[in-house]
Amino acid sequence: MASAATLALALSLAPVAVAGAQPSTEPTAPLSTPSFTDVPTTNQFHGYITWMAETGITTGYPDNTFRPTNPVSRQALAAFLYRAITEQDSDFETPPSASFVDKPVTGSFFREVEWLATTGITTGWPDNTFRPGYNVERQAMAAFLFRAAGCPATTLPSSATFVDVPASHTFFREIEWMASTGVSTGWIVGSQAEFRPGAQIERQAMAAFMHRANAQGLLHPGTNNCPGQQTPDPTPPSVAAGATVISAGAEHSLVLRTDGSLYAWGNNHSGRLGDGTVSSRRTPVRVLDNVASVAAGGEHSLALRTNGSLYAWGHGFWGQLGDGTNVSRRSPVPVLTDVTAISAGRFHSLALRADGSLYAWGRNHFGQLGDGTTTDRFTPVRVLTGVTAISAGEIHSLAIRTDGSLYAWGRNIGGQLGDGTTTDRLTPVPVLTGVTTVSAGGARSLAVRTDGSLYSWGFNGNGGVGDGTNVNRHTPVRILTGVTAVSAGSAHSLALRTDGTVYAWGYGRYGRIGDGAVSTRPLPVRVQLTNVTAISAGGRHSLAVRADGSLYTWGHRSTGPLLGGGSLSQPTPVRLLTNVASPTG
**Tens-place pLDDT, residues 501-529:** 999 999 999 999 999 999 999 999 999 99
Kindly report the length of the chain: 585
Q: Judging by beta carbons within 10 Å of its beta carbon (0-12, 13-18, 19+), is residue 181 exposed, middle or buried?
A: middle
**Amino acid letter, 160:** A
The DSSP code sequence of 2-51 is --HHHHTT-SSPPP---SSPPPP---SS--SS-SSTT--TTSTTHHHHHH
Stretch 103-124: mean pLDDT, rounded?
Answer: 84
Q: Judging by beta carbons within 10 Å of its beta carbon (0-12, 13-18, 19+), is residue 357 exposed, middle or buried?
A: middle
Phi, psi of 18 (to 5 degrees): -130, 140
**Amino acid letter, 319:** G
Nearest to 294 by CA among 269, 272, 271, 276: 272
Task: Kindly indicate the confidence band of residue 15, based on its pLDDT and cuts at 50, 70 and 90.
Answer: very low
Stretch 370-387: mean pLDDT, rounded?
Answer: 96
Q: What's the confidence (pLDDT) of residue 88?
A: 44
Q: What's the confidence (pLDDT) of residue 242?
A: 56
Rounded to whole angstroms, how far apart are CA atoms 322 and 347?
11
3-class DSSP state of 127? coil
Rounded to whole angstroms, how far apart are CA atoms 200 and 309?
12
**Amino acid letter, 107:** G
Rounded to whole angstroms, how far apart are CA atoms 117 and 441?
46
Stretch 543-561: mean pLDDT, rounded?
Answer: 81
How many Cβ atoms are within 10 Å of 17's Cβ, its own excluded? 11
Residue 341 has pLDDT above 60, yes or no: yes
Residue 374 has pLDDT above 90, yes or no: yes
Residue 25 has pLDDT above 70, yes or no: no
3-class DSSP state of 541? strand
Q: Are 340 and 350 in contact (CB under 8 A)?
A: no
Residue 138 has pLDDT above 90, yes or no: no
Q: What's the confidence (pLDDT) of residue 423?
A: 98
Q: What's the confidence (pLDDT) of residue 227?
A: 56
Residue 485 has pLDDT above 70, yes or no: yes
Helix spans in 203-299 (H): 203-215
Q: Are 562 and 574 in contact (CB under 8 A)?
A: yes
Q: Tens digits of per-residue pLDDT, 291-300?
A: 889 999 999 9
Of the two residues 81 and 233, the one the predictor is more confident about is: 81
Q: Tens digits of per-residue pLDDT, 79-109?
A: 899 888 876 445 778 888 888 887 888 777 8
Rounded to whole angstroms, how far apart are CA atoms 463 and 473?
11
Of the two residues 230 and 349, the one the predictor is more confident about is: 349
How many Cβ atoms are within 10 Å of 274's Cβ, its own excluded? 27
Q: Tens digits of per-residue pLDDT, 403-417?
A: 889 999 999 999 999
CA atoms within 13 A on the CB side of 107: 21
Q: Tens digits of per-residue pLDDT, 527-541?
A: 999 989 899 999 999
Q: What's the confidence (pLDDT) of residue 96?
A: 85
Contacts of 135 (CB under 8 A, 6+ apart): 71, 72, 73, 74, 200, 201, 289, 290, 306
Residue 250 has pLDDT above 90, yes or no: yes
Of the two residues 303 and 566, the one the predictor is more confident about is: 303
Q: What's the confidence (pLDDT) of residue 549?
A: 83
Of the two residues 171 and 426, the one the predictor is more confident about is: 426
Of the two residues 68 and 313, the one the predictor is more confident about is: 313
Q: Tens digits of per-residue pLDDT, 352-372?
A: 987 889 999 999 999 999 999
Residue 390 has pLDDT above 90, yes or no: yes
Q: What's the confidence (pLDDT) of residue 421?
A: 98
E strand or H helix that includes residue 414: none
Q: What's the confidence (pLDDT) of residue 226?
A: 66
**Amino acid letter, 383:** V
Q: Tens digits of per-residue pLDDT, 258-283?
A: 778 899 999 999 999 999 999 999 88
Q: What's the confidence (pLDDT) of residue 376?
A: 98
Q: Which residues pair with 71 in a beta bridge?
A: 202
Phi, psi of 401 (to 5 degrees): -100, 175
Stretch 144-154: mean pLDDT, rounded?
Answer: 88
Q: What's the confidence (pLDDT) of residue 123?
A: 81
Rounded to whole angstroms, how far apart are CA atoms 505 and 569?
16
Q: What's the confidence (pLDDT) of residue 397?
A: 98
> What is the β-pairing status of strands 329-336 and 310-314?
antiparallel
Rounded to whole angstroms, how far apart are CA atoms 440 and 325?
26
E strand or H helix that includes residue 240: none
Q: Judging by beta carbons within 10 Å of its beta carbon (0-12, 13-18, 19+), is residue 50 exposed, middle or buried?
A: buried
Stretch 305-309: mean pLDDT, rounded?
Answer: 82
Q: What's the confidence (pLDDT) of residue 6?
A: 26
Provide the Cα torsion 167, 170, 172, 178; round to 10°. Answer: -170
Task: Kindly indicate the confidence band of residue 558, based on its pLDDT and cuts at 50, 70 and 90.
Answer: low
Q: What is the number of H-type helices and E-type strands within the chain?
A: 7, 30
Q: Judging by beta carbons within 10 Å of its beta carbon (0-12, 13-18, 19+), is residue 33 exposed, middle or buried?
A: exposed
pLDDT mean across residues, the chain = 84
Nearest to 322 by CA among 331, 330, 333: 333
Q: Tens digits of per-residue pLDDT, 165-200?
A: 898 888 899 999 999 999 988 877 777 888 878 777
Rounded to whole angstroms, how far apart are CA atoms 501 and 331?
36
Range among 304-308, 406-410, 545-549 with highest mean pLDDT value: 406-410
Rounded to whole angstroms, how far apart are CA atoms 46 and 35?
8
Phi, psi of 268 (to 5 degrees): -115, 25
Q: Which residues pair with 288 in a beta bridge?
A: 262
Q: Which residues pair with 455 in a beta bridge?
A: 447, 478
